[in-house]
Amino acid sequence: MSENPAQHLPLSGYTVFEIGQNVAAPFASQILADLGADVIKVEKPTGDDARRWGPPDWEGAAAMFQTLNRNKTSQVCNFRDPEQVAQLREQIIRSADVVIQNFRPGVLKSLGLDAEALQARKPELVYCDMGAFGRGGPLSHLPGYDPLMQAYGGLMSVTGEPGQAPVRTGYSVIDCGTGMWAAIGVLAALLRRKNTPNGAHVEVSLFETALSWMQIANAQHLSSGEVPGRHGSGAATIVPYSAYLASDGHLVIAAGNDSLFRKLSALLNHPEWADDPRFNSNPARVINREEIDRLIQAEIALQARDHWIRALRAANVPCAPVQNTAEAFGCEQAQALGVLQDVPGSSMRFMGIPLRLDKIRPEIRKAPPVLNTLHKETTA
């Protein structure tokens, strides 16, 4: 009999119920699953909405769903059927260490599946509520999605080109960030539970995550009185620190201090820039960013991207080509790290969890679950 690859992982032996859908809750529980937890994904009869968030589809469901739900099993619960809800409640009381949920506020409370009801019967349960706007305040009852939070939390106000329309980051950074905070909160609660008989009620929200990503911008605002704006690929307080267009593509140069700027200036055959009062310190370069960016761009445009990458690395000036998805996952560094993992019983390949324990990246043990269209209680 083959060894269970999960049994040596840190969360082996823990059981997690995910009563959630879309991105945030599935991402949170997938982190726990990758670390060895037994995750039971509880779905409505039609399944997680993300199963249909395509094209592209990949082996029976949207690729977006597949990459967020590996290492889990699925069971269906018709939340309109009191008997099925009662079965799920008893199953949680019997076998759950953790519940993660991101339903609209009030839905699970009406079903007796909220933290208060479940912890009254099982005080050691760790229950994680993942909300949109968080508990308390006039918007707490509203649902939320990633782009709404990028807008409401301020992230879109600092993303994009100066003078242009605000831009959402390309993928769901707020959803995934909230999933990470949920996983961190759950792990902290499980650690605390080793020294206390009680679990915890963990609360995270998309809005609070969005605000947390804006903490540097907020500090700059509170200290200066100025509202941060958009700087394209650049940074508000470091120059040069942005993308430049070579003759055949973009690259990012990050000369984050005066020593690096001096090296960059010499490499571009303009050592005098490092002593120019307009550019000889980072604060001066921030004030005169348009001029120094214009001068750097004029030089970068003269050669191909690979030429500059080689030259900048040789001069120890931090840089990177702006790569598309195929280039990023196909580059030598990604290949060497082994970030892509095969999915057992499938032709799919996913990005593995981005951490290693004792030099080993936890494996993908199970393919994303097919929707079980018949209600069936999973035995404990």
Burial 300-329 (b: 16+ CB within 10 A, else e): beeeebeebbeebeeeebebebbeeeeeee
In this structure, the number of other CB atoms found within 10 A of the CB of residue 358 comes to: 5
- Token digits for 86? 């009662």
> In this structure, are strands 15-19 and 98-101 parallel, antiparallel, or unpaired?
parallel
- Bridge partners (DSSP) of residue 72 are 39
Residue 278 CB coordination number (10 Å): 12
CA 228 – CA 74 distance, rounded (Å):
45
CA atoms within 13 A on the CB side of 142: 11
Tell me which residue of 194, 24, 31 sits closest to 126, measured CA to CA.
Answer: 194
Residue spans of beta strands (DSSP E) within the chain:
15-19, 38-43, 57-58, 61-62, 72-76, 98-101, 126-131, 200-205, 241-245, 250-254, 319-321, 340-342, 349-351
Catalytic residue among 38, 114, 146, 175: 175
Separation between Cα atoms, residue 313 and residue 302, nearest integer Å:
18
345: alpha, beta or left, given left = phi > 0 and alpha = psi -120 to 50?
A: left
Residue 47 has phi, psi (to 5 degrees) of 85, 170
Measured CA to CA, the distance from residue 190 to residue 192 in angstroms comes to 5
Q: How far apart are CA 349 and CA 57, in angstroms?
A: 14
Q: Is 175 considered catalytic here?
A: yes
d(CA 183, CA 177): 10
Amino acid at 303: Q
Which residues are annotated as catalytic? 175
